[in-house]
Amino acid sequence: MSTARARLTGVTGHRLFWPLVVLVLLLVANVIYRPSFLSVELKDGHLYGSLVDIVRLSAPLILVALGMSLVIATGGIDLSVGAVAAVSGAVACLYISKQPDQNSLAVVLTAVALGFGVALLLGAWNGILVAGIGIQPIIATLILMVAGRGLAQLIAEGQIITINSDPYKVIGVGHLLTLPFAIVIALAVTLLVAVLTRRTALGMIIESVGGNAEASRLAGIRSRRITFLVYVVSAACAAIAGFMMTANVSSADGNAVGLWVELDAILAVVIGGTALAGGRFYLGGSVIGALLIQTLTTSVYAMNIDPQTSLLFKAVVVIVVCLIQAPAFRARFRRRRSVPVTPVEPVGTEKEQVPA
């Protein structure tokens, strides 16, 4: 009895337990609303279905959240990812739109390389401000968050650049081996980051810098270089996300691309169990967090609720997940558990509202 209980506490105590519960609840609500929700079919060798769509649409968020996880692991934060996505998307689309043959693969590759290069520069700028000059990350990246949008519009001269390039479109809506190409990219980057950080010492070094940068430096870790690096990686991830977003709609709008994605990404990372204080990161958690947020958004669309209202649901989910994960809240809950009345009732009812 006691071991079963201990095991149960072990499961419910796992940092991914509650995010997964909310994710499953959302999926169940979708199935109740529309029983065909879970069906996935193979058409012309491509996978189709609501689930596939959700994963495809969350690909940009997953990418941004991956970069954000690393930044947050070092105790920083990157507010500029949305702006970086907008800039790199605008650069790529501008280059393609200027070429006579927009369908040439070489043109698209050059465009992507250009956008990626600009993103690396922007990431390096953030990295220099944070690691080199020692400005607080939230402010250092705030600069680019504000100026980046202006930069994206400057590149596009205030216009929405529309392109007509099939190879570029593939990044957003194409397929590879029956899977949407965006999912393949997100999967590949996730695996790459996971292998680099979890199969080498890099992840531990990043966490140690986040735990205590000075102590890490004294222990022989080039902590500044690591800090610099994570901002570059974050910008690189944001750039790929930017290509996906612009490829999805075959156009680049400096104002709209990646709007609020930084906030969604931070939410995804926090839902995934990574503390904003740094020192630890969980890539799997961030991916699940991103899926959760996208599922929420898609469900709201699917249920014919006004899209903007999804913000209301997002707010409720964020607070519920954060509260459940907060040590202070758990302590309160545990202390009062001996009392017959269950004090988490309000949280439970709040969660009920999500699918409704």
Partner 1 sequence: MTTTPLAARAGRAWWRVPPRHVPVLATLALLLVMYSIGVSQYRAFSNIQVVFNVFIDNGFLLVVAVGMTFVILTGGIDLSVGSVVAMTAMVSASLLGDGLHPALVLLIALLLGPALGFAMGCVIHFFDIQPFIVTLAGMFFARGMCTWISTTSIPITDGFWTTAAQHRIHLGENFVSISVLIALAVLAIGAAVLAYTRLGRNVYAIGGNQQSALLMGLPVGRTKIAVYTISGLCSAIGGILLSFYTLSGAPLIAVGMELDVIAAVVIGGTLLTGGSGYVFGTLLGVLVLSIIQTLITFDGTLNSWWTKIVIGGLLFVFILLQRLVGIRTK
The amino acid occupying position 172 is: G
- Interhelix angle 202-211/223-249, rounded to 10 degrees, is 110
Nearer to partner 1, 182 or 226 (CB): 226
Contact residue for partner 1 among 188, 312, 335, 352 (CB under 8 A): 312
Contact residue for partner 1 among 42, 105, 154, 196 (CB under 8 A): 154
For residue 169, the surrounding DSSP H or E stretch is helix 166-173
Backbone angles phi, psi at 256, to 5 degrees: -100, -25
DSSP-based three-state secondary structure for 275: coil
DSSP-derived letter for residue 161 is E
Q: Measured from the CB of residue 323, what is the shortest distance to partner 1 in angstroms?
A: 6
- Which conformational region is residue 336 in: left (phi greater than 0), alpha (psi within -120 to 50 degrees), or beta? alpha
Determine if 267 is a binding residue for partner 1 (CB under 8 A).
yes
Site string for partner 1, 110-149 (x = CB under 8 A): -------------------x---xxxx-xxx-xxxxxxxx
Longest dimension (CA), the chain: 74
Determine if 13 is a binding residue for partner 1 (CB under 8 A).
no
Nearer to partner 1, 20 or 263 (CB): 263
Q: How far is the C-alpha of 1 from the C-alpha of 31, rounded, in Å? A: 35
Contact residue for partner 1 among 28, 32, 42, 276 (CB under 8 A): 276
Q: Measured from the CB of residue 218, what is the shortest distance to partner 1 in angstroms?
A: 18
Determine if 263 is a binding residue for partner 1 (CB under 8 A).
yes
Q: Measured from the CB of residue 151, what is the shortest distance to partner 1 in angstroms?
A: 6
Query: What tokens appear for 244 in the block?
Result: 């996906």
Determine if 313 is a binding residue for partner 1 (CB under 8 A).
yes
Query: What tokens appear for 224 in the block?
Result: 């500044």
Q: Measured from the CB of residue 247, what is the shortest distance to partner 1 in angstroms?
A: 23
Contact residue for partner 1 among 30, 126, 153, 251 (CB under 8 A): 153
Determine if 316 is a binding residue for partner 1 (CB under 8 A).
yes
In DSSP terms, which residues pair with 176 in a beta bridge?
179
Q: How far is the C-alpha of 145 from the C-alpha of 122, rounded, in Å? A: 11
Q: How far is the C-alpha of 81 from the C-alpha of 114, rounded, in Å? A: 17
Nearer to partner 1, 31 or 276 (CB): 276
Footprint on this chain of partner 1 (rule: CB under 8 A): 77, 129, 133-136, 138-140, 142-151, 153-154, 158, 254, 263, 266-267, 270, 276-277, 306, 308-316, 318-319, 322-323, 326-329, 332
